Amino acid sequence: MSDITPHLTDEFITLLSDYFTRKEEVILERAYELGRRAVGAKLTVLDMVTIQQDALVKFLLGMLGSENIADITKTAAELFSESLAPFELAQRSSQEGTVILRNLKEALESRVAEQTEEIRREKDFAQKLVETAQVIILVLDKDGRVIQYNPFMEKVSGYRLEEVRGSDWFSIFLPASDRSRVRELFLRVLSETDKGGINPILTRDGKERLIDWSCTNLKDGANNSTGVLCVGQDITEKAKLQEQLVEKERLAAMSVTAAKLIHEIGNPLNGMSLTVTLLERHLSVVKEQDSRVKSSIDKLLKEISRLSQLIYDFKFFAGSERYVFKPTSLAAVAAEVLDLEGPNYALRGIQVEQAIPGDLPLIMADADKIKQVVLNLCKNAVEAMPEGGMLTLRGSNPGENVILEIVDTGVGIPPNLDLFTPFTTTKTSGTGLGLMIVRQIVSMHRGHLTYSREANSQTVFRLTLPRLQSVAVTS
């Protein structure tokens, strides 16, 4: 029992006496207030009933001589009922509140569970999209450090995320020549003045892949830039196909030009050659020859021969050559070339190294034309090593292609020189059409030819042709 109990007992006795003598509403209000005080004092209904019973007993003991015991008891019942009203209200409110709160709690928990499950499903879906998407998804912080990227980026680059997380993106993944330009682009994305662009990235094995980027500036709740989200599409193969298409269109234009040149120059040139030859024979029977005349005739014959070779080269662009495609071993063609030319290379101080697997897949090709390609590439490589050197032929078959690389340790190719441009050559003599002819032949085989300068100063010409089961060529 609380310390308030004696006071409540005395006050109930006073209320009983007052209410018995004059039944006024204000006395019942006083009883109600006593009940509220008891609730405030955290008394229970049982405590209150005990207090009331004690007050009634004491009041009745004081009224033993009275004849109105029944009226007193009835009056006490009314008074005590009023004082218990706050307990009933509190209990009822508590019960109702408990039910309401329980219902609210259950509804809230159900809603939270639904939203949590929905968020989990959306998160799982988004995660699967990131993990299976065939595009690069990359997150960099505002300083250009790697925060996150998806499995496709791991596949393209060869780097696992754990290896490079927190590292500078530009120093690891960008060629040195592109770092400054791409860093400026990154800063423009951060300032929301740009959305991305196209640039190459370096893979783990040192190769370049061309990526088309679309970037978004990431911000925190205070609208401050925190980094960049980039979605990149690997367009390396697409760019190669576009390059091949452009090359085919250029070769087609060259073919038209070649046909005109052959027609306009070929016949007159043959006549000139015949006339000069007859003149040379005529002068050979003259007893006293003018040396200046003989020298001029020799120069004429030399220039006519050069122009005839030029016309012969142009025939390839005119489409006059017929191709006969058959299953062909590129390894066998390369071996045949080396058997034929190997002794000549040795005389020039050239060492030959062959690294071509014997089980290299077959290609569908015109063997004579491919032999001409390999002969021409080896000839160029040897001529680039006038003081001797190493000629290496390497074969491989990644994916659906067969690759033959012709590597030399010669003088190299001057920067900014495109050897596939017509009439471009590093030699003191020649038409500058040799590589154009080679590329034309390769194009007819649905392959492509590239060249590069490696870190060890070696020049590499890379011939790539579709393997037999992935190409169908008609003659």
**φ/ψ (deg, to 5) at 413:** -110, 125
* Average pLDDT score over residue span 51-57: 79
How confident is the model at residue 123, as a pLDDT? 62
Q: Which amino acid is at 8?
A: L
Calculate the average pLDDT of the chain.
79
Percent of the chain with pLDDT over 70: 74
Q: What pLDDT was estimated at residue 441?
A: 87
Tokens of 167: 């590292």
Q: Is the model's pLDDT at 326 over the cut of 50?
A: yes
Look at 1-15, 103-117, 148-162, 184-198 and tell me which has the smallest mean pLDDT: 103-117
Any residues with CB less than 8 A from the CB of 258 and at least 6 apart, and which?
Answer: 314, 315, 316, 317, 318
Amino acid at 425: T
Mark out the alpha helices in 285-416 (DSSP H runs).
291-314, 330-347, 367-383
Q: What is d(CA 294, CA 370) in angstroms, rounded to the nearest whole number?
A: 41
Q: What percent of the chain has pLDDT over 90?
A: 21
Q: How far apart are CA 52 and CA 9, in angstroms?
A: 7
* pLDDT 10s digits, 231-285: 988 888 888 777 777 767 766 676 666 666 666 676 677 777 777 777 777 777 6
8-53 per-position pLDDT tens digit: 888 888 888 888 888 888 888 888 888 888 888 888 877 888 887 7
CA angle 166, 169, 175 (to 5 degrees): 150
Q: Which helix (H) or strand (E) holds 185?
A: helix 179-190
pLDDT of 321 > 50? The answer is yes
d(CA 212, CA 309): 44
**Per-residue pLDDT for 111 more than 70?**
no
The CATH T-level fold of domain 133-234 is: Beta-Lactamase (3.30.450)
475 half-sphere exposure, CB direction, 13 A CA radius: 11
The string of DSSP codes covering 146-162 is EEEE-HHHHHHH---HH
Q: Where do the structural domains in the chain lie, given as residue ranges?
A: 5-103, 133-234, 240-314, 326-470
pLDDT at 351 over 70: yes
Report which of residues 425 and 8 the model is more confident about.
Answer: 8
Higher pLDDT, 216 or 273: 216
* ∠ Cα 236 233 212 (to 5°): 75
User: If pLDDT is split at 50, 70 and 90, which confidence band does 406 have?
Assistant: very high
Between 163 and 104, residue with greater pLDDT: 163
Q: Identify whether the C-beta of residue 447 lies closer than 8 Å to the C-beta of residue 377.
A: no
Asked if residues 165 and 172 have their Cβ atoms less than 8 Å apart, the reply is no
pLDDT, tens only, 370-399: 998 999 899 989 988 888 999 999 999 888
User: Right CATH number for 326-470 from 3.40.50.20, 3.40.50.300, 3.10.20.30, 3.30.565.10?
Assistant: 3.30.565.10
The answer to whether 198 touches 210, Cβ cutoff 8 Å, is yes
Dist CA 65 CA 72 (whole Å): 13
391 CB-contact burial (10 Å; exposed 0-12 / middle 13-18 / buried 19+): buried
- Which stretch of 75-84, 312-321, 348-357 has the lowest confidence by average pLDDT? 312-321
Query: What confidence category does residue 475 fall into, taking pLDDT thresholds of 50, 70 and 90?
Result: very low
Average pLDDT of the segment spanning 202-212: 90
pLDDT of 258 reads 66
Band the pLDDT of 473: cuts 50, 70, 90: very low
Whether 97 shows a pLDDT value over 50: the answer reads no
Fold of 240-314: Helix Hairpins (1.10.287)
Which stretches of 96-207 are assigned E, i.e. beta strand? 136-141, 146-149, 198-202
Q: Is 319 left (phi over 0), alpha (psi -120 to 50) or beta?
A: left
pLDDT band of residue 353 (cuts 50, 70, 90) is very high
**Span between the terminal Cα atoms of the chain, in Å:** 112
Greater model confidence, 86 or 456: 86
Single out the residue of 404, 394, 413 nearest to residue 459, CA to CA: 413
Report which of residues 143 and 115 the model is more confident about. Answer: 143
Band (pLDDT 50/70/90 cuts) for residue 472 is very low
